[in-house]
Amino acid sequence: MYFEVSFDKKITYKKVLEGYSKGIFPMGDVFDNSLSWYFTDPRGIIKLEPDFKGINIPRSLKQVLKKNLFEVKVDTKFKEVIENCSYRFDTWITPKIKKLYITLHNKGYAHSVETYQGNKLVGGLYGVAYKGAFFGESMFYIEPNASKVAFIKLYEILIKNNYLLFDIQMITPVFKILGAINIPIKVYHQLLSKAMSVEREFLY
């Protein structure tokens, strides 16, 4: 469940990072283009464990990965990814949110993982890497399994670079299949505190 909280309404990219460090995140209102801060309780996370032990990879997805149906790239079309993620009913990805996260991308914090067939972008996701945590924001797909393949690549990057926390805020049906878990907000803040005490690089 989402809970709105009182925090600085003048939201800049630096405030977004500060918000993440406190366990809150901004969402936009499509009706008036305003921004507000939220947290979820319980909190959805992906366990980060070597050799993909922290996630569940369904047999069908393993077959997709084996066949190399998609080309995967990182940080090549961030704007297009966030734009595609906004194409949904009752979206929170408003023009202000897009502007904020494009700024975060330009500053080196927000990243996209994209999947292609030929030269066509057919899936992807984006989120923010800050200190020892990655805060997943949204994903989209045009072709089946395209966003899941992007997720697998992201997981690989986070493991390789020793990230401590993979925060997805709330579990969707797709993430439930992939092995996401809910944890109490108190436990989440303990993990967040550890993640905020280290520095990591999003190297791919």
Rounded to an integer, what distance in angstroms lies between the CA atom of residue 200 and that of residue 131? 5
Please tell me what DSSP assigns to residue 51: G
- Two structure tokens written together for 81: 């990814």
Q: Could you state, in order of their start, the residue ranges of all structural domains in the chain?
A: 44-181
Q: How many residues comprise the chain?
A: 204
pLDDT at 88: 86
pLDDT at 32: 86
Measured between its terminal Cα atoms, the distance across the chain in Å is 33
pLDDT at 1: 82
pLDDT at 30: 85
Closest CA to 46 of 188, 186, 144: 188
Q: Please report, in tens digits, the pLDDT of each residue of the chain (204 residues total).
A: 888 998 777 899 999 999 999 999 999 998 888 899 999 999 999 999 999 999 999 999 999 999 999 999 999 999 999 999 999 888 999 999 999 999 999 999 999 999 999 999 999 999 999 999 999 999 999 999 999 999 999 999 999 999 999 999 999 999 999 999 999 999 999 999 999 999 999 999
pLDDT at 149: 98
CATH class given for the domain over 44-181: alpha beta
**Sign of CA pseudo-dihedral 204, 139, 94, 18:** negative
In order of 53, 116, 150, 153, 159, the CA distances from 92 in angstroms are 32, 25, 22, 25, 29
Q: What are phi and psi of 110, to 5 degrees?
A: -90, 140
Residue 159, classified by CB atoms within 10 Å of its CB into exposed (0-12), middle (13-18) or buried (19+), is middle
